[in-house]
Amino acid sequence: MAIAYKRVLIKISGEALAAEKKTGYDFDFVGAVCEAVKRCVELGAQVGIVVGGGNFWRGVKDGGGKIERVSADRMGMLATAINCLALGDVFAQHGVTARVMTAVDIQGVGERYDTKKAIEYLESGCVVIFGCGTGHPFFSTDTAAALRAAEIRADAILLAKNIDGVYSDDPRKNPAAVKFDEISYADVLAQRLAVMDSTATSLAMDNDIPVVVFALAEPENIVRVLKGEKLGTLVK
């Protein structure tokens, strides 16, 4: 079966791994996500994943002014490493070979990120899970997703969120908010729409990487987007 994108970078938030629990893990849901990714690999896709850490720690937000920004962000990087280990283990249970690569050295968690090695893993059929963001404070995991997508020459970024697309306003607060089927990077930046942070959006725009924003509530949506089904919002 034909797929729309051969090599993809999936960005999954830490909160998504917790589902309704809000913190920690909903392992039934994590298993469903891993099974959907497995199907993508079976269809011939090469899959990289950047995972956030919000189910444990949200950097400067959780620091609440009590922890200096650099330390708060580094704590967030460590939270993503925890999630990388969890995903890697669940992938193994589903018969998928996954490699964890981290932006900082954490012996025993994963190997240090290397672009050429990551591409080798992808081409061999491994799922590559990128941890610790960019390895630098002041950069979100959204930016890490755009950066890794550019480095591995991904055909698209699949932005799996808690909302089913890009809206003109927050639909939870404004019932009149309009959902976009397609929108340009420039309009996302000009209208300050909550898709990715501005650094990530600019990076995707500069490297001409389309971003598909869709809801992860149904993990099967990952497969549907990969097949090219019109789902969520396409940013390009």
Q: What is the DSSP string of 24-75?
A: S--HHHHHHHHHHHHHHHHTT-EEEEEE--TTT--THHHHTTTS-HHHHHHH
* Structure confidence at residue 170 (pLDDT): 86
Residue 60 makes CB contacts below 8 A (sequence gap 6+) with 69, 72, 73
* Structure confidence at residue 1 (pLDDT): 64
Helices 198-206 & 141-151, crossing angle to 10 degrees?
A: 10
Q: What is the DSSP string of 112-166?
A: EP-HHHHHHHHHTT-EEEEESTTSSTT--HHHHHHHHHHHTT-SEEEEEESSSSE
* Structure confidence at residue 202 (pLDDT): 95
Which helix (H) or strand (E) covers residue 100, if one does?
Answer: strand 98-102
* Structure confidence at residue 20 (pLDDT): 86
189 contacts 136 by C-beta, under 8 angstroms: no
Q: Which residues of the chain have pLDDT under 50?
A: none
All structural domains of the chain, each given as residue ranges with its CATH number in brackets, are 7-235 (3.40.1160.10)
